[in-house]
């Protein structure tokens, strides 16, 4: 927004007599959206646009009175996450058309933006984002220093590496945006009631009863869009929303003659290495830094959130910004010529990872969240569409796990949220190198084995809050975190771990698997109706997949069948609340079937490699011969006097066992296995080695290559779809796709070594590389890395079927550089016939 608008809003602050609801509260609505900022209004507009006009928005005060009125209104397309770029690029497109669509005046200056690079690494980040942008029609362009000066004549470039241009960046008036969305929603029949705070909610007989001082309203669905008050509102639902208000400031200068003299507005300028944005505001400049020592507000009883902070700001605190102001003045000396006329210091809501919460409220039926937006102006449009899709259609066009509220689970409390949010804010513009994990909020969930593994030298990573060994550095110098996009310093160590497992045997603690014990009459029939494939026989283990109604991949679980109607369902640490809700929401109400969450009760050790049969036999006394204990079977046994379940599977693709034991027994069981393994050279390995080995086997990983962006068939999981079984969720859509042929298909590729540099492809969901056939963009890499047992760079991708069919040459761009790629026909590079697995 601009300064004069801010002043106008403040002047419009309602007096007491105005604090009456602006229209009568309807008694019912299909959806009630709580909160009238940019996001709430966008949700309402998109619900109405999709035909759900019977929706009501309740706003405590005036529209925009939360964080929206004072936002700087910058609308970048640039962002390192695929999901967020989809959200933001949808918004910027909508905003260019919105004024005309809803007939409302719109101050949206599409000035374009320059992003500065101080280093080669930064430029590589830009190239990576450029490749992502190309996939969704956002044309970022690399710029030389000269080109930057041509369009930004006040810029000092002598120490820069170059930059990047986003022609579609700009700034919008957030108040106008919100009012335009509100008008669009009202015109379509939706209702907005202002000065109507929600004070309580209750779920009664499948309906929400929402209480306000002006009466109650009943609704099928409810949306928390309460901005920085999301946690307060969340408590009414019994939900702890991970949200903290940080103080974010920008300053505005007095008019500058050189800008007054120009007839075009300057492009936006971002200096990510110095951590600020700078843009023209009327004839002055607006500077907003993300400083290192930002301040959190309203986190404990000594600093309570006031009942009403509408249209209010925190006190200025320019001292915190001194370094950034000086740095920006050196970069754009014109800035230093003008005095400061106004400072805006307002609450900006942050989740631990700085991304918003858009999706189902964890554990609460028919309730959704669209809150905790750090960049809620540029994200409002896309977020509104995403949530409306979720509510109206029951699923979204593309995967939204990056913003799904269920990505934060039971370890995320206020202290964790505050620590991570402050860390994220101070790294807002930092480069996210592969595998990097910032240090705050660690050791949230520890297994009793943690100290043993730390003593063995493990370097840990956080997996759904659980600490697991990532790799075992050879010396202290090797412990440093990832510090570039190049091949990391742990490359050789991880390679040695893989080769040791392949030659002898390795042990890795996988504690933190999410576990659900399913039991009772009809359990098997119920489970079969949810999954696309067959269930394993009693005594066996198998993978089961859950699809959406459109046939897209929702999740994968391993199902161990303990009895006819009894299963142990195991899924990833990060999938904990997602999968819990998926199962709970369709659990029949008969009372016969029980689902028990046993996640915290058990630990898992993976013992794998050609010597593992001898080690497990020595530790447990059972026969591990293939005839007695075949691949994909399980047996109870005793290790160190403790009852354990031994399951014959290995994600590493070697002969191997997962040993599942009581959490309290894991140290004793580990000690016994280590002792039994000593003569067989049993060694430690970590998650990085496991990831390398599973790639070589073509095994998928949830939310990297198993996402709801693609259907089961597109993901290459056809052999887990059984059309000859009774009905299951997604069957009709998959059957139709099966008949018509899939438009996209899963491929496994190897990449030639890089000619320049030593960069490995880095997939893992956020890092998307582009597959080209004949030079035409044809698909995306969903998962990638280096296979140390086969000595090759590997990429798994989903590509356009037709383009692939006519391709004579395939390339994958890694950080903007093309690499020749080759199809792996068997979808497995290592032991494609599973001979090693079978032992
Ligand atoms: C200084 C500053 C600069 C910024 N610059 C940018 C920028 O350039 N670009 C960008 O994208 N973002 C920017 N932001 C962030 C942006 O302001 C927010 O992300 C965005 O406004 C959030 O919108 P919202 O609708 O989620 O929340 P809000 O605007 O806070 O709206 C939430 C609404 O919910 C209402 N509410 C709360 N509780 C209840 C209740 N119990 N009952 C009924 N109503 C309730 C509140 O009154 C409020 O109106 C900036 C933030 C700050 C502080």
Ligand 1 centroid from CA 431, angstroms: 26
Of residues 788, 731, 794, 738, the one with CA closest to residue 762: 794
What pLDDT band is residue 3 in, cutting at 50, 70 and 90?
Answer: very low
Hey, whose CA ends up nearest to atom 21 of ligand 1?
Answer: 68
State yes or no: pLDDT of 17 exceeds 50.
no
- Residue 42 CA, closest ligand 1 atom number: 25
Ligand 1 centroid from CA 23, angstroms: 23
**pLDDT given for residue 135 in this prediction:** 81
Ligand 1 centroid from CA 604, angstroms: 43
- Probe target for ligand 1 pocket from 226, 290, 315, with the most ligand atoms within 8 Å of CB: 226
Q: Which three-class secondary structure string do you get for 523-557?
A: HHHHHHHHECCCCCCCCEEEEEEEECCCCEEEEEE
- Residue 63 CA, closest ligand 1 atom number: 49
Q: Is 831 helix (H, G, I), strand (E, B) or coil?
A: coil
State yes or no: pLDDT of 758 exceeds 60.
yes
- Residue 35 CA, closest ligand 1 atom number: 34
Residues 352 and 408: beta-carbon distance below 8 Å: yes
Q: d(Cα 291, Cα 284) in Å, to the nearest integer? A: 22
Choose from 365-374, 479-488, 744-753 the range with maximum mean pLDDT.
365-374
- Probe target for ligand 1 pocket from 225, 227, 370, 375, with the most ligand atoms within 8 Å of CB: 227
Ligand 1 centroid from CA 16, angstroms: 23
Ligand 1 centroid from CA 372, angstroms: 8
DSSP sequence for 87-125: HHHHHHHHHHHHHHHHT----EE---EEEEESSHHHHHH
Q: d(Cα 546, Cα 548) in Å, to the nearest integer? A: 7
- Residue 374 CA, closest ligand 1 atom number: 19
Q: What is the pLDDT of residues 261-314, one digit of tens each?
A: 999 999 999 999 999 999 999 999 999 999 998 999 999 899 999 999 999 999
Lowest mean pLDDT among 289-298, 471-480, 705-714: 471-480
Q: d(Cα 660, Cα 617) in Å, to the nearest integer? A: 16
* Residue of higher predicted confidence among 816 and 564: 564
* Residue of higher predicted confidence among 255 and 301: 255
Half-sphere exposure of 311 toward its Cβ, with a 13 Å CA cutoff? 16
Non-local (6+) Cβ contacts of 662 within 8 A are 601, 602, 603, 642, 643
**pLDDT given for residue 772 in this prediction:** 66
Q: d(Cα 124, Cα 145) in Å, to the nearest integer? A: 16
Ligand 1 centroid from CA 66, angstroms: 5
- Residue 74 CA, closest ligand 1 atom number: 8
Ligand 1 centroid from CA 364, angstroms: 24
**pLDDT given for residue 14 in this prediction:** 40
**pLDDT given for residue 21 in this prediction:** 74
**Residue 105 region by backbone torsions, left for phi larger than 0, else alpha for psi between -120 and 50, else beta:** beta
Lowest mean pLDDT among 28-32, 285-289, 475-479, 496-500: 475-479
What is the average per-residue pLDDT within 584-591? 90
- Residue 348 CA, closest ligand 1 atom number: 53
State yes or no: pLDDT of 16 exceeds 70.
no
- Residue 379 CA, closest ligand 1 atom number: 11
What is the average per-residue pLDDT within 675-685? 98
Sign of torsion, CA 129 130 132 137? Answer: positive
CA 481 vs. chain centroid, Å, equals 21
State yes or no: pLDDT of 789 exceeds 70.
yes
Buried b (16+ CB within 10 A) or exposed e, 564-580: ebebbbbbbbbbbbbbb
Q: How far is CA 502 from CA 393, 505, 677, 678, 790, in A?
A: 47, 7, 15, 16, 11
- Residue 310 CA, closest ligand 1 atom number: 47
Q: d(Cα 510, Cα 603) in Å, to the nearest integer? A: 7
Ligand 1 centroid from CA 269, angstroms: 23
Hey, whose CA ends up nearest to atom 52 of ligand 1?
Answer: 71
The values of phi and psi at residue 66, to 5°, are: -80, -115
- Residue 372 CA, closest ligand 1 atom number: 26
Q: Is 320 helix (H, G, I), strand (E, B) or coil?
A: helix
Length of the chain: 839
Q: How confident is the prediction for the chain on average, in pLDDT?
A: 93
Of residues 835, 811, 714, the one with CA closest to residue 399: 714
User: Is residue 468 classed exposed, middle or buried when 0-12, 13-18 and 19+ CB atoms within 10 A define those classes?
Assistant: buried
Q: What is the pLDDT of residues 394-416, one digit of tens each?
A: 999 999 999 999 999 999 999 99
Q: d(Cα 147, Cα 816) in Å, to the nearest integer? A: 20
What is the average per-residue pLDDT within 466-491? 88
Non-local (6+) Cβ contacts of 602 within 8 A are 513, 515, 660, 661, 662, 663
Number of C-beta neighbours around residue 658 at 10 A: 24
What pLDDT band is residue 487 in, cutting at 50, 70 and 90?
Answer: confident
Q: What is the pLDDT of residues 712-729, one digit of tens each?
A: 999 999 999 999 998 999
Ligand 1 centroid from CA 532, angstroms: 42
Ligand 1 centroid from CA 248, angstroms: 12
Q: Look at strands 171-172 and 108-109 and give their pairing.
A: antiparallel
Q: Give percent above pLDDT 90 in the chain.
A: 83
Hey, whose CA ends up nearest to atom 49 of ligand 1?
Answer: 66
**pLDDT given for residue 678 in this prediction:** 97
Q: d(Cα 58, Cα 197) in Å, to the nearest integer? A: 7
What pLDDT band is residue 5 in, cutting at 50, 70 and 90?
Answer: very low
Strand partners, 516: 569, 597
Q: Give percent above pLDDT 70 in the chain.
A: 95
Ligand 1 centroid from CA 387, angstroms: 17
Half-sphere exposure of 628 toward its Cβ, with a 13 Å CA cutoff? 10
* Residue of higher predicted confidence among 800 and 769: 800
Choose from 83-92, 582-591, 808-817 the range with maximum mean pLDDT.
83-92
Using CB distances shorter than 6 Å, the residues near ligand 1 are 34-40, 58-61, 65-68, 70-74, 197-198, 225-229, 233, 248, 250, 310, 344, 346-348, 371, 373-378
Ligand 1 centroid from CA 37, angstroms: 6
Hey, whose CA ends up nearest to atom 16 of ligand 1?
Answer: 376
Q: What is the pLDDT of residues 418-450, one digit of tens each?
A: 999 999 999 999 998 888 889 999 999 999 999
Ligand 1 centroid from CA 70, angstroms: 9
State yes or no: pLDDT of 15 exceeds 60.
no
Lowest mean pLDDT among 361-365, 817-821, 829-833: 817-821
What pLDDT band is residue 765 in, cutting at 50, 70 and 90?
Answer: very low
State yes or no: pLDDT of 734 exceeds 70.
yes
Q: What is the pLDDT of residues 344-356, one digit of tens each?
A: 999 999 999 999 9
Residues 434 and 399: beta-carbon distance below 8 Å: no
What is the average per-residue pLDDT within 731-738? 98
Q: Is 164 helix (H, G, I), strand (E, B) or coil?
A: strand
Q: d(Cα 283, Cα 260) in Å, to the nearest integer? A: 5
Hey, whose CA ends up nearest to atom 31 of ligand 1?
Answer: 37
**pLDDT given for residue 755 in this prediction:** 64
């Amino acid at each position: 927004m601009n300064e004069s608008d801010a002043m106008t809003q403040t002047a419009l602050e309602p007096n007491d007599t105005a604090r009456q609801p602006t229209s009568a509260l309807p008694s019912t609505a299909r959806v009630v959206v709580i909160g009238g900022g940019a996001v709430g209004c966008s949700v309402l507009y998109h619900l109405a646009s999709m035909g759900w006009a019977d929706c009501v928005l309740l706003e405590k005060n005036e529209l925009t009175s939360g964080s929206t009125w004072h936002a700087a209104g910058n609308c970048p397309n640039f962002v390192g996450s695929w999901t967020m770029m989809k959200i933001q690029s949808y918004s910027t497109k909508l905003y260019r058309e919105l004024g005309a669509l809803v007939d409302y005046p719109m101050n949206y200056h599409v000035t374009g933006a320059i992003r500065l690079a101080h280093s080669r690494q930064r430029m590589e980040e830009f190239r990576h984002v450029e490749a992502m942008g190309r996939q969704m029609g956002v044309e970022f362009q690399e710029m030389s220093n000269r080109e930057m000066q041509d369009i930004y004549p006040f810029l000092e470039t002598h120490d820069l590496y170059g930059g990047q241009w986003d022609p579609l960046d700009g700034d919008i008036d957030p108040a106008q945006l919100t009012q335009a969305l509100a008008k669009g929603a009202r015109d379509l029949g939706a209702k907005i009631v202002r000065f109507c705070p929600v004070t309580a909610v209750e779920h009664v007989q499948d309906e929400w009863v929402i209480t306000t001082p002006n009466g109650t309203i009943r609704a099928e669905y409810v949306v928390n869009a309460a901005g920085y008050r999301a946690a307060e509102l969340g408590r009414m639902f019994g939900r702890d929303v991970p949200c903290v208000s940080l103080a974010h400031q920008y300053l505005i200068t007095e008019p500058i003659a050189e800008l007054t003299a120009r007839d075009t507005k300057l492009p936006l300028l971002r200096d990510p290495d110095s951590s600020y944005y700078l843009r023209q505001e009327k004839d002055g400049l607006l500077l907003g830094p993300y400083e290192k020592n930002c301040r959190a507000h309203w986190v404990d009883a000594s600093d309570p959130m006031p009942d009403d902070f509408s249209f209010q700001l925190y006190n200025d605190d320019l001292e915190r910004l001194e370094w950034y102001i000086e740095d920006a003045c050196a970069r754009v000396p014109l800035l230093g010529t003008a005095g400061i006329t106004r400072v805006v210091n307002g609450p900006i809501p942050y989740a631990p990872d700085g991304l918003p919460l858009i999706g189902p409220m964890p554990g609460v039926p028919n309730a959704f969240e669209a809150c905790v937006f750090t960049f809620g102006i540029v994200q409002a449009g896309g977020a509104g569409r995403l949530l409306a899709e979720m509510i109206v259609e029951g699923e979204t066009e593309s995967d939204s796990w990056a913003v799904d509220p269920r990505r934060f689970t039971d370890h995320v409390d206020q202290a964790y949220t505050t620590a991570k949010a402050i860390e994220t804010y101070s790294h807002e513009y930092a480069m996210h190198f592969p595998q990097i994990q910032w240090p705050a909020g660690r050791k949230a969930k520890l297994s009793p084995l943690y100290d043993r593994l730390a003593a063995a030298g493990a370097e840990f990573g956080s997996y759904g809050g659980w600490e697991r060994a990532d790799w075992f550095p050879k010396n202290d110098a090797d412990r440093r975190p990832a510090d570039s996009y190049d091949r990391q310093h742990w490359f050789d160590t991880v390679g040695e771990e893989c080769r040791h497992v392949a030659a002898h045997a390795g042990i890795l603690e996988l504690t933190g698997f999410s576990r659900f014990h399913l039991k009772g009459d009809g359990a098997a029939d119920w489970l079969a109706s949810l999954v696309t494939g067959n269930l394993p026989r009693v005594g066996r283990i198998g993978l089961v997949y859950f699809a959406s109604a459109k046939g897209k991949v929702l999740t994968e679980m391993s199902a161990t069948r303990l009895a006819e109607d009894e299963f142990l369902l195991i899924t990833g640490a990060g999938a904990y609340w997602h999968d819990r809700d998926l199962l709970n929401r369709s659990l029949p109400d008969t009372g016969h079937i029980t689902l028990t969450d046993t996640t915290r009760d058990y630990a898992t050790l993976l013992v794998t490699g050609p010597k593992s049969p001898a080690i497990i036999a020595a530790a447990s006394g059972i026969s591990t011969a293939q005839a007695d204990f075949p691949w994909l079977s399980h047996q109870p046994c005793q290790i160190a006097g403790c009852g354990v379940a031994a399951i014959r599977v290995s994600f590493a693709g070697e002969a191997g066992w997962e040993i599942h034991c009581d959490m309290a027994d894991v140290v004793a069981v580990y000690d016994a296995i280590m002792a039994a393994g000593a003569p067989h050279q049993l060694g430690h390995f970590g998650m990085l080695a496991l990831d390398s080995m599973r790639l070589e086997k073509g095994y998928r990983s949830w939310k990297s290559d198993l996402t709801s962006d693609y259907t089961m068939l597109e993901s290459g999981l056809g052999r887990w779809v059984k059309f000859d079984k009774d009905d299951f969720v997604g069957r009709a859509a998959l059957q139709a796709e099966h008949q018509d042929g899939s438009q996209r298909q899963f491929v496994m590729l190897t990449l030639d070594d890089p000619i320049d540099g030593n960069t490995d492809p880095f997939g893992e969901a956020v890092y998307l590389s582009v597959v080209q056939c004949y030079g035409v963009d044809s698909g995306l890499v969903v998962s990638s890395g280096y296979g140390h047992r086969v000595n090759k760079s590997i990429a798994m991708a989903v590509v356009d079927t037709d383009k692939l069919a006519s391709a004579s040459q395939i390339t994958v761009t890694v950080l903007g550089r093309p690499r020749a790629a080759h199809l792996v026909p068997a979808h497995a590079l290592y032991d494609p016939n599973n001979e090693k697995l079978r032992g």
